Amino acid sequence: MKDKISIVGAGLVGSLLAVILKQKGFEVQIFEKRTDPRKSKALEGRSINLALSQRGIKPLKLAGVYETIEPYLIPMNGRMMHSKDGDLTYQPYGKEGQFINSVSRAQLNQLLIESAEAAGVQVFFDHKCKDVDFKKNFIVFENGSKVESDLIIGTDGAFSAIRKKLQITDRFNFSQHYIEHGYKELCIEPKDGNFRLEPNYLHIWPRGNFMLIALPNNDKTFTCTLFFPFEGSPSFDSLNSIEAVNSFFKEYFNDALELIPDLADQFFNNPTSTLVTTKCEPWNNNRSILLGDAAHAIVPFYGQGMNSGFEDVRLFIEKAEEMDWDWDKVLPSYSSMRKKDADAISELALHNFIEMRDHVGDPSFLKRKKLEAQIQEKFPADWIPLYSMVTFSDMPYSEALRLGKIQKKIMDDVLKEDNPESKIDQAISQFNALKKVD
Ligand code: FAD
């Protein structure tokens, strides 16, 4: 346990990993390109929030930091769909008592960095990694410093500097794909000190090729995110005047428009950001490895980017314990075990965009969800809906994807029947048979 471990990137994944490795007795240091957020006041200004669920909570508990974070979470019990006319439809995420949590990304990051420091991890801000020598195990920073380590872990996000260095090593595969949609965040301010929408839901305005969502913050604001094409009509390109933005919102998101009186200001002042999927392999080279977004960045539509990164941390630690911390075995073994699950959640996330923007408002989708809930209620041990397998369990993502595909086929068939409810027993026997032999 005397190994010196260097983690590049004090984001969500890097700081959580540092806490646990330090607790295991290693000498751990993190190098972060940003200035200390506590000094730069990064916490002030726009709130960006994320949905935290089971796969993320389990590693936070393992690190003993969940109790510190829990008071900052806002439970979201289900989706609240807003129709064009402002009608609301509620759809629970899971069984009674199952919910996901809205959390401020900056707040969570700060709590994790503070937990790492409290555990004895040295955190070096203003250290931007610019080079890595994978053979001699050292990192070079833009400020001229150079650090040697027994293990180098790249948790430096979707545009990882460590991954860029791996890209110029032999037999390293890499791909990236930008979807044709980008996103823009907008804020719904509180009114008379209160939330302007019901806080315990994830609000969605599904509109076919685009959508708006809103998640609650502790300061009683909501962060809205518009997922929208860059080009075409309508698109970020076509909304090029105050009038165009206002009349577009009036037509598609009228009830939200009423809650954002300074919409045009926000629309033209807040940045428009891209959405990328990256895949690469192998994640390891000699004594270096990538975790979190650096290894597998995904689109945000399943709310699993951070959750899967936290799960990486748990599985990496479990693998290391199982292999007695022999890094030469742990690194390749963890990477090859985890890759198929990263690919699976990447596929699920892309698919869930279509479900969220296109289907959630459909009566046929709601009918499907209702029937699925009935099947689950009657056979709770046999049938767990795909969303619940991903969000409320820690079953491997690849297994959830496989079972979800079988379920979809069965549901498609059952829903063609005149009386689908009468086919529930048949659906379950079919599922139990197929899941074994598939
Ligand atoms: P990051 O959080 O990106 O951290 C990387 C760190 O590395 C940063 O601190 C960065 O400054 C630092 N760094 C970068 N380059 C260098 C360098 N060269 N040297 C030193 N340091 C460096 N996930 C969810 O689970 N639920 C959600 O609801 C959700 N919603 C999302 C919504 C949107 C719009 C987006 C874009 C993402 C969302 N995600 C969500 C995904 C989530 O934000 C990421 O998966 C998560 O932040 C990844 O954590 P990370 O630590 O791997 O990377």
The pLDDT value recorded for residue 39 is 83
* Bridge partners, 191 (sequence order): 194
The pLDDT value recorded for residue 41 is 63
Q: With the CA atoms of 59, 61, 305 and 122 taken in that order, what torsion angle do they form, in degrees rounded to the nearest 10?
A: -80
Q: Quick one: which atom of ligand 1 is closest to the CA of 309?
A: 52
Instruction: Please work out whether the CB of residue 181 comes within 6 Å of at least one atom of ligand 1.
Output: no
The pLDDT value recorded for residue 393 is 97
Instruction: Please work out whether the CB of residue 26 comes within 6 Å of at least one atom of ligand 1.
Output: no
Residue spans of beta strands (DSSP E) within 217-264: 222-229
The pLDDT value recorded for residue 366 is 83
322 Cα to the center of ligand 1, angstroms:
28
Which pLDDT tens digit goes with each residue over 372-421?
A: 989 999 999 999 999 999 999 999 999 999 999 999 999 999 999 989 99
Q: What residue ranges do the domains of the chain occupy?
A: 4-72+105-176+277-351, 178-274, 362-434
Instruction: Please work out whether the CB of residue 352 comes within 6 Å of at least one atom of ligand 1.
Output: no
CA atoms within 13 A on the CB side of 197: 30
Instruction: Please work out whether the CB of residue 15 comes within 6 Å of at least one atom of ligand 1.
Output: no
Which pLDDT tens digit goes with each residue over 197-233?
A: 999 999 999 999 999 999 999 999 999 999 999 999 9
pLDDT (average), residues 336-357: 94
Instruction: Please work out whether the CB of residue 16 comes within 6 Å of at least one atom of ligand 1.
Output: no
**Among 311, 309, 308, 332, CA closest to 320:** 332
Helix 305-322 / helix 12-23 crossing angle, nearest 10 deg: 20
25 Cα to the center of ligand 1, angstroms:
26
Is the model's pLDDT at 236 over the cut of 90?
Answer: yes
The pLDDT value recorded for residue 162 is 98
Instruction: Please work out whether the CB of residue 32 comes within 6 Å of at least one atom of ligand 1.
Output: yes
Identify whether the C-beta of residue 78 lies closer than 8 Å to the C-beta of residue 198.
no
Percentage of the chain modeled with pLDDT above 90: 90
The pLDDT value recorded for residue 409 is 95
Q: Using alpha carbons only, what angle is made at residue 179 by residues 79 and 47, rounded to the nearest 5 degrees?
A: 50
158 Cα to the center of ligand 1, angstroms:
7
Q: Kindly indicate the confidence band of residue 1, based on its pLDDT and cuts at 50, 70 and 90.
A: low
Which residue's CA lies nearest to atom 46 of ligand 1? 306
125 Cα to the center of ligand 1, angstroms:
16
Q: First and final CA of the chain: distance in angstroms?
A: 43
Other CB atoms within 10 A of residue 238 CB: 14
Instruction: Please work out whether the CB of residue 414 comes within 6 Å of at least one atom of ligand 1.
Output: no
Fold of 4-72+105-176+277-351: FAD/NAD(P)-binding domain (3.50.50)
How far is 354 from 203, CA to CA, in rounded Å?
16
227 Cα to the center of ligand 1, angstroms:
18
Give the predicted TM-score (pTM) of the model. Answer: 0.97
The pLDDT value recorded for residue 359 is 77
pLDDT (average), residues 343-348: 98
Is the model's pLDDT at 42 over the cut of 60?
Answer: no
Q: Quote the DSSP letter at residue 36.
A: P
Is the model's pLDDT at 240 over the cut of 90?
Answer: yes
Which pLDDT tens digit goes with each residue over 254-311?
A: 999 999 999 999 999 999 999 999 999 999 999 999 999 999 999 999 999 999 999 9
Q: What is the mean pLDDT of the chain?
A: 95
Instruction: Please work out whether the CB of residue 296 comes within 6 Å of at least one atom of ligand 1.
Output: no
The pLDDT value recorded for residue 323 is 98
How far is 72 from 17, CA to CA, in rounded Å?
20
Q: Quick one: which atom of ligand 1 is closest to the CA of 156?
A: 7
Instruction: Please work out whether the CB of residue 309 comes within 6 Å of at least one atom of ligand 1.
Output: yes
**Among 100, 120, 112, 106, CA closest to 69:** 112
